[in-house]
Amino acid sequence: MLFHVRMNVKLPASMPAEEAARLKQVEKEYSQRLQREGKWRHIWRIAGQYANVSIFDVDSVEELHTLLTSLPLFPYMQIETMPLCRHPSSVREDDR
C-alpha cells in the first residue's frame, strides 16, 4: 500500500541544541534504514519549511502507524497521510 505523508516538524524553542542535534541524527539513521528496506520510498524537503513530503510503501495502515509513531521526532510533528492508488491514466506499469 502506498501512502503520501506530509510531515511538519516544530521543535520547541526551549529544546537544548545538543538534544535537537541528537534527535535529528537518530531520526536520520532510522529514516535511512527504512529507505534501504523499501518502506520509505521517497522523501522530498519542502523548500523554506522544516517539513517533507514522503511516499511510504507498507503492508497495512497499522504498519504505517507503527513506523510513523516510532520516528524520534514524532512528538514534534504534525503528520498528514493520504492513501494512494494507481491512476487509470498512468503510463507506468509499476509504482517506481
15-62 pLDDT tens trace: 999 999 999 999 999 999 999 999 999 999 999 999 999 999 999 999
Which residues are CB-neighbours of 3 under 8 A, at least 6 positions away? 55, 56, 58, 64, 81, 82, 83, 84
Mean pLDDT of the chain: 95
Per domain, the residue ranges of the chain are 2-84
21 — phi, psi (to 5°)? -65, -40
The answer as to CATH 2.40.50.140 being correct for domain 2-84 is no
The CA-to-CA distance between both ends of the chain, in Å, stands at 13
Which pLDDT belongs to residue 93? 78
Is the per-residue pLDDT at 96 higher than 90? Answer: no
Is 86 within 8 Å of 6 (Cβ atoms)?
no
Q: What is the mean pLDDT of residues 56-79?
A: 98
Cell of 29: 539513521
- As a whole number of angstroms, the distance between CA 36 and CA 17 comes to 29
